[in-house]
């Protein structure tokens, strides 16, 4: 797949605006789906996410990075916390967070689950379940298998 041409197509189809810079694969990316570089306007993408999750999820990652790209060049709020970014991302149905890769999932040794709402938490270090509660509903946490 020619990545730059694919990103140009997604930009035209989903945003109605042209992508005039380049897009590259970056094998060093671990937990992020992609990166936007305001200095020269190019985009980097994680090839592992494309390989593991397919074209549908990858297209949503491309939309996310294109939101940064287009808003930056329109001199609007292009960062994650900016209202312009959140609105455009919702409008084009982009992913807010990249899904974890298999290599990233293996790094987590401890799996906790809320007894009340079922929210799951993956941690590299042990936590004291007597001290910490669920961030969603304040329920008790338990070690899941």
Q: Which of these ranges, 16-20, 68-72, 76-80, 121-125, has the smallest mean pLDDT? A: 121-125
64 labeled part of a ligand binding site: yes
Strand partners, 34: 45
Do 97 and 29 lie in a common domain?
yes
Average pLDDT, the chain: 93
What is the structure's pLDDT at 104? Answer: 63
What is the structure's pLDDT at 145? Answer: 73
pLDDT above 70 as % of the chain: 97
pLDDT tens profile 63-105: 999 999 999 999 999 999 999 999 999 999 999 998 887 766 6
Alpha helical stretches, state H, the chain: 3-10, 47-73, 83-92, 102-106
Do 89 and 115 lie in a common domain?
no
DSSP string, 83-97: HHHHHHHHHHT--SS
* Catalytic, out of 65, 113, 120, 145: 65
What's the CATH number where 76 sits? 3.30.2010.10
CA 74 centroid distance within chain:
22
Spatial separation of the C-alpha atoms in residues 50 and 83, rounded to whole Å: 28
Token duo for residue 41: 């306007």
With the C-alpha atoms ordered 77, 136, 63, 42, is the resulting torsion angle positive or negative? Answer: positive
Do 30 and 77 lie in a common domain?
yes
What is the structure's pLDDT at 30? Answer: 87
What is the structure's pLDDT at 90? Answer: 95
Domain around 126: 108-143
Active-site residue flag, 83: no
Do 94 and 123 lie in a common domain?
no
111 labeled part of a ligand binding site: no
Q: Are strands 23-25 and 43-45 parallel, antiparallel or unpaired?
A: parallel
Structural domain count of the chain: 2
Q: Which residue has the higher pLDDT, 1 or 39?
A: 39
Do 97 and 116 lie in a common domain?
no
Do 54 and 119 lie in a common domain?
no
Spatial separation of the C-alpha atoms in residues 50 and 29, rounded to whole Å: 12
Q: Are 43 and 21 in contact (CB under 8 A)?
A: yes
pLDDT tens profile 45-65: 999 999 999 999 999 999 999
Spatial separation of the C-alpha atoms in residues 77 and 50, rounded to whole Å: 28
Do 38 and 16 lie in a common domain?
yes
Do 73 and 130 lie in a common domain?
no
Do 44 and 112 lie in a common domain?
no
Spatial separation of the C-alpha atoms in residues 34 and 21, rounded to whole Å: 15
Do 69 and 122 lie in a common domain?
no
């Amino acid at each position: 797949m020619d990545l730059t041409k694919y990103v140009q197509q997604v930009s035209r189809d989903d945003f109605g605006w042209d992508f005039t810079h380049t897009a590259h694969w970056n094998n060093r990316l671990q937990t992020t789906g992609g990166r936007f570089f305001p200095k020269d306007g190019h985009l980097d993408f994680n090839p592992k996410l494309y390989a593991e999750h397919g074209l549908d999820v990858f297209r949503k990652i491309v939309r996310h990075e294109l939101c940064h790209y287009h808003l930056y060049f329109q001199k609007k709020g292009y960062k994650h916390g900016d209202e312009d970014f959140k609105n455009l991302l919702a409008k084009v149905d982009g992913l807010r967070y990249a899904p974890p890769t298999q290599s990233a999932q293996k790094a987590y040794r401890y799996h906790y689950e809320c007894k009340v709402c079922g929210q799951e938490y993956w941690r590299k270090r042990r936590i004291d379940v007597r001290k910490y509660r669920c961030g969603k509903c304040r329920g008790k946490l338990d070690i899941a298998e």
